């Protein structure tokens, strides 16, 4: 039944303009989701007729020890990204907001990595990490350090991926923080300076509290993004060494395009989507009071 406000001429006109967008969005947005849920309970190669297997795909998933390895690796990547990657854009934004000269130049330099295509950026860093001819080992060799097995060691492979991901994605986040900083009242800084507060105290007691809402949203987006990391482990390490960088999405790729089990790959994707949805709901509930006070 059409709502009363849409029965008018203007309402019907608005609905007519909106309808193509709704159709396109439903076809390319919601239909793949529904189709994925159906595929997760089927066995199919996407060519022949699918076979209904019920929850067998999920049972197979939970019995695969590599699944738990991928979950641990993805969680470890997210933790490292939080410890090292999350503070970097905040610090850069605060520092650049204090610059009186060359602020525009620094903004361009910081944002440049975002302009580079992701695969190109990862391949560039793969050369940086090369144990024999890479830029990092060549530079460290000048001062008598190294060579280091950046991607060849199970201990350093994941931190190396986080370092590249931080460099590649920090620029866009910095611009968001800079935009948020423009909304901080200058009177708060003036009052803090009058009270004799140092730069660090102004940042701690004025800047960060004013950015609290933005920080919480960006942290949630980072958690969701890092738990879906794929490009870095796929291009840099292919999940190695010894499966130490196999992530959930890389495992989805292997199920689908190496093992040819699209039902199993889709089942893992559905589990990941449900897990991220529940995690996001829990996060928003726990941080509701922080973002409004």
What residues make up the domain containing 64? 56-292
Q: Quickly tell me which residue has 């190496």 as its tokens.
A: 258
Q: Quickly tell me which residue has 């066995």 as its tokens.
A: 43
Residue 2 lies inside a defined structural domain of this protein: no
pLDDT of residue 280: 93
Residue 10 lies inside a defined structural domain of this protein: no
Give residue 1's pLDDT band: very low, low, confident or very high (50, 70, 90).
very low
Q: What is the pLDDT of residues 178-218, one digit of tens each?
A: 888 888 777 777 777 777 777 777 777 778 888 888 899 99
Q: Looking at beta carbons, which pairs linking 126-133 to residues 24 or more positions away fall under 8 Å?
A: 126/151, 126/235, 126/236, 129/160, 129/236
Q: Which of 218, 168, 172, 186 is nearest to 98 (CA)?
A: 186
Q: What is the pLDDT of residues 33-57, one digit of tens each?
A: 898 899 999 888 778 788 899 899 9
Residue 42 lies inside a defined structural domain of this protein: no
Least confident stretch, 2-11, 59-68, 246-255: 2-11
Residue 70 lies inside a defined structural domain of this protein: yes
pLDDT of residue 222: 93
pLDDT of residue 45: 77
Average pLDDT value for residue range 51-72: 93
Residue 159 lies inside a defined structural domain of this protein: yes
Residue 158 lies inside a defined structural domain of this protein: yes
pLDDT of residue 225: 93
Residue-averaged pLDDT of the chain: 87
Q: Is the pLDDT of residue 7 over 60?
A: no
pLDDT of residue 56: 92
pLDDT of residue 5: 55
d(CA 56, CA 72) in angstroms, rounded, equals: 23
Number of structural domains found in the chain: 1
CB 46 within 8 A of CB 263: no
**In sequence order, what E strands does the chain have?**
42-43, 51-52
pLDDT of residue 184: 77
Average pLDDT value for residue range 73-86: 94
Question: Which token pair is 39?
Answer: 């595929």
* Residue positions counted in the chain: 293
Phi, psi values for residue 141, rounded to 5°: -65, -25
pLDDT of residue 100: 67
Residue 191 lies inside a defined structural domain of this protein: yes
Average pLDDT value for residue range 113-134: 91
Average pLDDT value for residue range 228-240: 94
Give bridge partners of residue 52 from the DSSP assignment: 42
Looking at residue 199, which CATH number applies to its domain? 1.10.3720.10
Residue 33 lies inside a defined structural domain of this protein: no
């Amino acid at each position: 039944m059409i709502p009363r406000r849409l029965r008018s001429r203007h309402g019907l006109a608005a609905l007519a303009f909106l309808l193509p967008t709704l159709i396109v969005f439903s076809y390319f947005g919601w239909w793949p989701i529904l189709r994925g849920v159906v595929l997760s309970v089927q066995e199919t190669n996407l060519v022949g007729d699918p076979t209904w297997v019920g929850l067998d795909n999920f049972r197979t998933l939970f019995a695969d020890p590599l699944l738990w390895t991928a979950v641990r690796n993805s969680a470890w990547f997210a933790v490292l990204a939080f410890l090292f990657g999350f503070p970097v854009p905040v610090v850069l934004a605060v520092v650049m907001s204090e610059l009186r000269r060359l602020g525009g130049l620094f903004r361009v330099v910081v944002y440049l990595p975002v302009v580079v295509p992701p695969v190109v950026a990862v391949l560039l860093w793969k050369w940086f990490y090369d144990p024999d001819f890479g830029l990092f080992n060549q530079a460290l060799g000048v001062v008598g350090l190294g060579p280091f097995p950046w991607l060849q060691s199970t201990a350093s492979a994941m931190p190396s991926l986080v370092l590249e991901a931080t460099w590649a994605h920090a620029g866009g986040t910095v611009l968001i923080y800079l935009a948020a900083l423009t909304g901080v009242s200058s009177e708060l800084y003036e009052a803090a300076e009058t009270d004799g507060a140092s730069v660090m105290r102004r940042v701690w007691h004025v800047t960060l509290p004013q950015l609290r809402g933005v920080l919480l949203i960006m942290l949630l987006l980072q958690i969701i993004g890092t738990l879906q990391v794929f490009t870095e482990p796929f291009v840099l390490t292919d999940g190695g060494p010894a499966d130490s960088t196999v992530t959930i999405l890389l495992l989805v790729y292997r199920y689908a395009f190496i093992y040819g089990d699209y039902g199993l790959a889709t089942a893992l994707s559905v589990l990941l989507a449900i897990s991220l949805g529940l995690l996001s709901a829990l996060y928003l509930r726990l941080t509701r009071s922080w973002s409004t006070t």
